[in-house]
Structure formats: C-alpha cells, structure tokens
Chains A and B, each alone.
Chain A
Amino acid sequence: MLALKGIPVSNGVAIAKGYCLVEPDLSFSKITIQNNDAEIMRLNEAIEHSKIEIERMQAAATQKYGEDKGAIFGAHLLVLQDPELFVGVAQKIQSGMNAEHALDETVQFFIQMFEGMDNDYMKERAADIRDVSKRVMAHLLGVELPDYSRINEAVIIVAKDLTPSMTTQLDPTFVKGFITDIGGKTSHTAILARTMGIPAVVGAKSATMDIKHGEPLIIDGSTGEIFIQPNNEQIAQYKKVEEENKQFKQQLAKYSELKSISKDGYSVELAGNIGKPQDVASVLAAGGEGIGLFRTEFLYMDRLDLPSEEEQFTAYKEVLEALNGKPVVVRTLDIGGDKNLPYLNLPHEMNPFLGYRAIRLCLDHQELFRIQLRALLRASVYGNLKVMFPMIATLEEFRMAKTILEEEKEKLLLTDVPISTEIEIGLMIEIPSAAIIADLFAKEADFLSIGTNDLIQYTLAADRMNENVSYLYQPYHPAILRLVKMIIDAGHAEGKWVGMCGEMAGDKVAIPILLALGLDEFSMSASSILTVRSQLATLSKELLVPHVQKLLQLSTAQQVEQVVIDILK
C-alpha cells in the first residue's frame, strides 16, 4: 500500500490496474552456432511475426487516425523488408553468429551511421530502425513488447513519459488515467489527459520502478496522489470520491445549455482549445462558445512530411463548419521550442524556447507559411475565422505576417476564390516585450490573446520543461497579474476584445481575478469549460473589482493565492 506523489495535471479519480509501458529486457548471449540454416530460419520467422504485427498496427492506426499515421508504420515495414539490413544479418549468421548477436551488430552499425549524420531527420530514422529491430529481437528472444492497441480492459497507463506517437495508439475506452515519471503541467501527457478528460499525475519520478504491471492502483489527479495496492478502506474512500465527481459532472451538465455569465450579470465567452478537428466534438458537448485556440501544429506532427494545402484546407473547413458560425481562433504554425518537426531539418538549438520557432520560423520559411495561410483563407467562407500569429515580439513581425496574409488573399481573389470579408487578425501576447507595448498592438490588431504558458516562462525566465525551476511557473505572480491587466486595458482602450488561451484561463484561483480585470474570452481544455461556467455563476464582478486593486499591490504569488481563496470562502 505504497503511496507516491507527483504533479496533479488533470482532475478526477481513477481506480484500475496499472499498465506499465516499460521495455522488456532484451539482453541476449553471444553464442557460436553450428546449424546456420536453422538460425536463418529463426530470423526469418521473427521477421515474419514482426511484419504481421506492424501490418496490424498500421491497419488499426489508418482506420482510427487516417493515412498519415498509417504511413509511419508503412515506413517501418520498409525497414523490416530492407535487403541491406537483413542480408547483412544473414551473412553474419553464416559466419557462425547467433541471430540475436548478428541482428544487434548490424543494427548498431546502421544506427550509428544515421545518428552520426548532422541532420535531425536522419537521427529520427535511427529511431525507426531501432524500433523495428527491437520488435524482431523480441520475437527472437520470445518476449513480448508492450502493445497498447491490445489493451482490452480498464487500465491506468504507467510510463516514463508519453510521446504523441504513443498516445495515438491509446484507446480512451480502456485508458482511465496516466502516471508518468517525468513532465509538468504543460507537458504533452498533461495536455492530452485534459483533452481526453481523464485524470493524470506526471513527474512521479520513480513510478515505473515502484509500480508493477497489473498491480491495482488509485490515482487522484487533483492532488497528485498515487496508491499502489490500495486497501479496502482506500478503495471505498476513493470510490466515494469517484461517485461524487460523477454526480458533480451530472450537476454540471445543466450548465452546457446556459450562458457564461457571472452572478451579477456580466457575460464572457468560454471557448475550447483544440489540436485536431476531432477535438471539436468535446468542446461542443461541453457547451463551448467557440474555439479560442486551434493549435495547428498538431496537423504537422507525427508524420513524415508537410501536410498539403488541400489537407489543411479540409481540416480548417471541418472545424469551421462544425462550429456553425461560432468563432474559431486559428493559431498559425507554432513549431520549435518543445515541438519539433524532424522532416524540416531544423538546427539543434541550445535554448529552443528563445530560438528559431513559431512566427520567427514562418517569416523565414515563407513557402511553408503561405501554404497554411492560403488553406485558411480558402476555408474562411465556411465559418467565423480569426487568425492569430504566435510568439510575436515586435510590431514589425506582426506587420510582416499581416502583409504576407494580405498578399495571399489578393492572389486568391485574382483567381476568383471566395474569401470571407470578416476575418479578424490578432496575435498571441506571450512575450513580455509584446505585453509591454500591447497598446501599440491593439491599434493594429483586431484582438489580443494572452498565452500565459509562455508569458509566465518568459517573464520569470524559467524554462517550463525544466523541473528544477518549475517552482517559478507562477500564474499568480504579481508581475503576471500586472501584465495581464496592462494587456486587457490596452485592448479595451482601442475597443478590441482580449482573450486568454493559456492554462491560467481555466484556473480556479485566476478566474475571479480575470473576470474582475474584464477579460472577454477564456479558452481552455474542453473538460474545464463547465466547471468554469459553474464557478462564474457564483462570482460577482462588482464585488471582486475592489479586491483586485488590492491584489495587484501584493508582493508574492502565495499571498495572492491566499487572498483569493479567502475571498472565495
């Protein structure tokens, strides 16, 4: 009945068996063999079994997520059938090596060759070779690799970390929660868990060591607690919490039909953050009044090449049509930082968050940017499109991005392509320089959206992927509150609306402050929308405003949090 503690990143309680995504032991002995033919037959059988598995995974991925995901497994099949690779292995077997040893030596040679290339794309190919050969090795050794597509009962996934390509294989019907060794509030696993609406605890350090596969677990995604082999008393206690959560959710259901309005009648807009057209359904189900952030980079990730203009057009059109006239804020490609696209061969950087990313990359790689803008412009007639540029630091960048958009618009109009005349153009305020001159941006933009995840990391100079400085991720830091107030005031002075699409917009303590500061639009994970709407209904803006003036004079984040909690009592 061991208890662990991690960082709570997605609320709720899950009670289920642990499913450890831990690599099995693939160590082998080096033996000199006598019967070469039998050994080659063993190798061929292992390849054949691997082929069947990869084909099955390819079919499942294609059916669930489309051709692009399937193509990744297609590349794995080509590696598996690669004559250079397996002729090399067969030759080594002929010279007396056992199959495991021969496979390992050949594969290491190729992996080193690819890893030695000064090119991220090629380095990724080393990962493909490693992946495929691992599967063949597992068959040779008669051990099983974890295969999440085969999970057919309720489980809590326990892993070192979850990558986007791993998570595309997870079936939400059976996956009840996540525990990872590493990660923070804005890691991929955390965002995914909130999108799926399942509890998650990340950064639990030794979880994969302490939890055995199949062991009963309880996780509390609001406190970060993990119980291994819980006793009956704990199970009963958490079943009760689970039941209360369920009832709370049922009570919340009535808010899906209601407006987002404070007790004293101030209305705001509650929108959802999405990464893919498929995510729209949960935003609409939660009564979202729009899409406040469409993270388009997810259309570019987990694939082998750039999405075409046509593919993007289809995705944007689908989202715009599904929203049926409600606003959709599309953020243009925000790649770099913690999100890389191996096929673009971007240079490796010492400080990726301060480097060549988002709008900087798009303005430099205009061919890529223009394709996305054309797809957006063409889709604009199918709904209420708003285009937002990420990571703007200077007015020049914003003007240049707008000019490029304008140029593409004119080109399309010349060829008689219909384009909406109502497209609003805005930017994400996530760099302190942009926050400080928000008044100047407000004159040239149709709206401002505050991206708090990055604004906090840049203002406090704390890399949000670095666990050693995660204590500096402080949404209630007086500097952040003052910046947020500046941005909202600057937007309103020019008659422009101001939104927020970072994690802070769904934060219980931040919401009363943001309401009092006059934020117009709050955008968050679909799973938070109803909770926030129910909280808004209990708040009175008029009563909060005087407190906020005092809050802005406090000296620490902790004081701010305490005062807000006291006010809410």
Chain B
Amino acid sequence: MKYADEFRDKEIAVGLAKAIRAEANKARPYRFMEFCGGHTHAISRYGLEDVLPTNVRMIHGPGCPVCVLPAGRIDMAIGLAMRPEVILCVYGDLMRVPGSQGASLLKAKARGADVRMVYSTIDAIRIAEENSAREVVFFAIGFETTTPPTAVMIRMAEKKRLSNFSVFCNHVLTPPAMKNILESSDIGDKGQFEIDGFVGPAHVSTIIGTEPYEFFAKEFSKPVVISGFEPLDMLQSILMLVRQINEHRYEVENQYRRAVTRDGNLRAREEISDVFELRDRFEWRGLGQVPYSGLRLKRSYAIYDAELRFEMQELCVADNRACECGAILRGVKKPVDCKLFGTLCTPEMPMGSCMVSSEGACAAYWAYSRFRDHRQRRAS
C-alpha cells in the first residue's frame, strides 16, 4: 500500500530502534507523552514497546476527542436525540461512548431515538435537505482537525438557507489541554508525575502548525516533536526526543514534514475563526474543567447552535470515584494500576474516558498489550 508500507519497513524500524538504544543514556529514564490517541493506537498496534529500551517509556496522553468528551455532554446529546422531531447525526465511534448510568447513543437508538451514523459533515447536510420536516442536528466533536469541516458545513447550511439544521458543538483545542497537564504536575494523592517531552499531535498540527507548541518548549523546558502516525514516524520522533534531551535542547521539531508546516493551514484556520469563538471553560473527561479549551458558535451563527435552539441545559456528571483516568492521562499511573481495569471497566462496558474509544490508553492497552503483564508475571 503506497504511502503507508514505506513507513512500516521492518529493516528501517530495527535500525531506528537500534539507534534509540545506542543513544538513550542507560543511567536515566526518558518519559515521553504522546498526546494523540492515534499515536497511542500505533504504539499498541505495532507493539513498539517491545522494540524500545526499558528506560524509554511512553505515557499515553488525553489526545482522543471521543475519550475526553464528558458523560454530561453525552447525556445532553441523548436527551436531544430522544426528542421525536430530532435526527441526530454522529460520527461512528461516538455511538458507544458512555453517558451517565451506562447510557449511550447506541442504546438510545435501540430505544427509538433517530441517531444516524455519518462519515462526513456533507452527509449531515444531505440528511437535513432530505428531511425538511425534521430538525437535523450534527454532533460536532474533535480537535482542530475536524473543526474546519464543521465550519464549512455551517457556512454551507447558511448558503442553502437550511432552517432545520443545527450543530451541537463539542470541538476542543489541544494547546490548553497540554498546558493543563503541564501545570498540574503535582496531583496530590495521585502522585508526582514527570514528563520529559511530548510526541506532538499530527493531524491537529496540519491545521494549526507547529508554532503553538513553541510556548511549551520554551516556558516548560519540554521538547516537542510533531510526529506522524506510522511506526517509523513514531520511532524517528522518539529518537529525535532522546537527542534533544541528551543535548539539553527544548525545541519544537517537525518529524511530520510531509504534512505539517510551522503556520499550518491558514485557510482552515480562517474558517475556524470565522465561525467559532472560545468558551471560558470546557469540561474534559479525566481532566476536569479546562479554561479556554472549547469552542462554540459565534453570535452571528447562533441560529445554527443546537444548545440555544433547543435550550439545552449543561449537565455535569461525575466519573466513578475509583476511576483512575485522570492519573493515567497524566502518566502517573498505568491502566493496570486501576482497580476497574478489566473488571468493571472493559471496552464492552467502559466506565472511564481511557476505555471509551479504541484510541484511549486503557482500550489500546486492553486490546493489544495486556498479554505483556501475563508474560512478565510468567517470567518473574
């Protein structure tokens, strides 16, 4: 498969792993957080832990927009979908995300809610055009990557004068979340955490570029390498981080040069700023309220704002107290350290954010890596 197989070459992977082993100082640990869920998925799916030296540890960050969506927002969406006049259009992996008391859009659909899985924002527009007597709401979610298509869709709805169309906006921003993580290094009884550097978001950076991460490198002295999602991308990025640490450099480097520039996609950024504005705060599952981390529609597009149109009430639902997602997302604990992992919390019945989508730290660990614990136990 062109443009993918080249980045999964075994010989090059072995060479990169060898270089990491040679350059990583055995006397110290290297703790790198990969922000994107896509990176977490790649690490687990390709078993990259097996090719890294033991003193290079990857910490799975909060970078999956589905995982970090709080239960309250899911409850709000379910409430909306249960209204007989509403057709709720959602991306596929949102269907199983748990709200409170185990509710989900998949279960709401089974109870009669008209929830339709869409592959793109265009599908939602088409459904609105085909169902003029119904209210069609698009459940917008995602980081900066999926925000431009939502903006374009809203402008398209305006151009087509669609009066039965609106958006339940849940778009969030990565830099505020990264700042939140770095500023909460001491999280009380959940322990002290240390991160030596970040594998920076890939798709997000195609939109916002590398520039927003320069602040973290300078202010927090943490190197950032923007990385692609293929296994060779990951290994090369880890090598670049090891080198920065060894050389006491704290810079933003761009491994994903085939798709990312310093300024990103200016047209897409314009689309976002034209349609959206910052919320004062937005709740992230596992991280809590994060200031200026979410987007909502500007006043000029208020008629397309489902929260206003349907007078939706903000719902806050506490996660299970035993859930360790907050600590796992910050790298203080591993999935297996959580009492709920694999018992009350499984991919079939996720309790916490990290188990919600296949890109969450716990779900990826469960699906691809849990044999390692058994292997280690057997070895010891």
Chains A and B form a bound pair = no
Interface residues of B (CB under 8 A from A): none
